[in-house]
Amino acid sequence: MNLILFEGKKTWQTRKTHLFLLLGLLLTVILFLFNGYLGQKENLVIDSLLGSNTRVMGQNRYSDEINQFLKQTNQEIEEQEENFRAAADKGQSLVGKLTLPTYPFYRTMLNNELAKRKLPPQSMRYGTKNTIFSAILLSYLASGFGIVLLLFLFGDSLTKEIDERSLYFYLSQPVKRSRLYFAKYMLVWLQSIVVVAVLFLFSFVIASLFSGGSSFDYPVIVFTEKSMTLMPIIQYSGQVFLVFMFVLAFCLALHFFVSILLKKTSFSLVVTLMILFEGYNLSTLNNEFMRKIAHFNPFAYLNVSRLFVGYDFRPFELFSIENQEYYANWCLPRTLHNGQINSLNGVVVLSIGTVILLSLGYFCFKKNVHRWKI
């Protein structure tokens, strides 16, 4: 415990840590402003299509106008479905008509849920209300962006000691080699989780102060077990955060293993990132064999939010709505046609991969540690 406290205090007193934290906070503010700007532009387009000055997206309170809008939208969707059925019965082709952007079946379910709970509709692309914006930020953090940020922030924990040949100080103390290796690893992992939590809470605070609140139970259309369903946004955020903890454990175990082999901070960071991104690209290749084994590949889970939703920044196509169903169809299980890619399997596969990499890393550390004493 004393070793962890000593290492933690040393890390958080460095200028690099302060600069990267400030960078994370600054990028959060920029994302908030970016979402606010694009959300306003989208609302203007929606208002012009509706021919009304009453805003329906991103409001703080449910109103009669919003209720009417949701019911009217559902009615139009049902009429569209009837027209599709009638055309199909007559043998008419639906090619170019029955497409994901123009077939928001699950949007009716979402609208009914919003009307039932009396919740104003929010944008899952450009939302700025507290729970919505926090979930959007977490989706960005729980991806390659967050992995790169955290590796550059804490990735030199071991290689810096090797470069500066300061491991002798630790090895001269009554500390076991295994304890030293795993203590450094656990500290980096815990610090990374703390940084993600701090940025998440910071995004919630600034959204609350400058945009207002949204429900913790706001429904999000997600893909689970070969079908779509509604999940409360607090549950969605919790699952993304949980799986990303295991993603971080896997990535850091890989980086520690690479660091011991290469011993140079910059080189080991580059090699680790190359392995991670090449591994992810290979795991998501669109060929039959890779699709079938994707759920066994820990690299497939690096972009956590894509286990549930797949963001797409095309403008809405119909009914003046943001079609969350369209996003869900771009999630990884859907695009790879592998329903076994899910959060539970991800946790298991990532855990196994982490244990293997940590074992290999410790074995190499134990074999080479005598070379770093001088």
Confirm whether 61 is domain-assigned.
no
pLDDT for the residue numbered 325: 53
Long-range residue pairs from 213-216, CB within 8 A, at least 24 positions apart, any chain: 213/60, 213/129, 213/130, 213/131, 214/119, 214/122, 214/127, 214/129, 214/130, 214/131, 214/132, 215/117, 215/119, 215/131, 216/131
Confirm whether 97 is domain-assigned.
no
Euclidean distance between CA atoms 12 and 127, whole angstroms: 33
pLDDT for the residue numbered 9: 64
Confirm whether 13 is domain-assigned.
yes
Confirm whether 101 is domain-assigned.
no
pTM of the model: 0.86
Segment 217-243, tens digit of pLDDT: 999 888 766 677 888 999 999 999 999
pLDDT for the residue numbered 172: 56
Confirm whether 66 is domain-assigned.
no
State the total domains in the chain: 1
pLDDT for the residue numbered 165: 60
Confirm whether 201 is domain-assigned.
yes
Q: Distance between alpha carbon 164 and the CA centroid of its chain, in Å?
A: 35
Range of the domain at 349: 2-49+126-372
Euclidean distance between CA atoms 141 and 125, whole angstroms: 15
SS3 content of the chain, % helix, strand, coil (to 5): 70, 5, 25
Q: Burial letters for 277-295: b for 16+ Cβ neighbours within 10 Å, e otherwise?
A: eebbeebbeeeeebbeebb
pLDDT for the residue numbered 352: 97
Confirm whether 99 is domain-assigned.
no
Positions of E strands within the chain: 219-224, 227-232
User: Which two three-digit tokens encode residue 84?
Assistant: 């599709």
Q: Which amino acid is at 85?
A: R
User: Which two three-digit tokens encode residue 6?
Assistant: 């000593």
Name the nearest CA neighbour of 322 among 70, 97, 139, 84. 70
Segment 159-174, tens digit of pLDDT: 666 665 655 555 555 5
| Residues of the chain where predicted confidence (pLDDT) is lower than 70 | 1-13, 49-54, 93-105, 158-178, 224-226, 310-329, 368-374
pLDDT for the residue numbered 102: 46
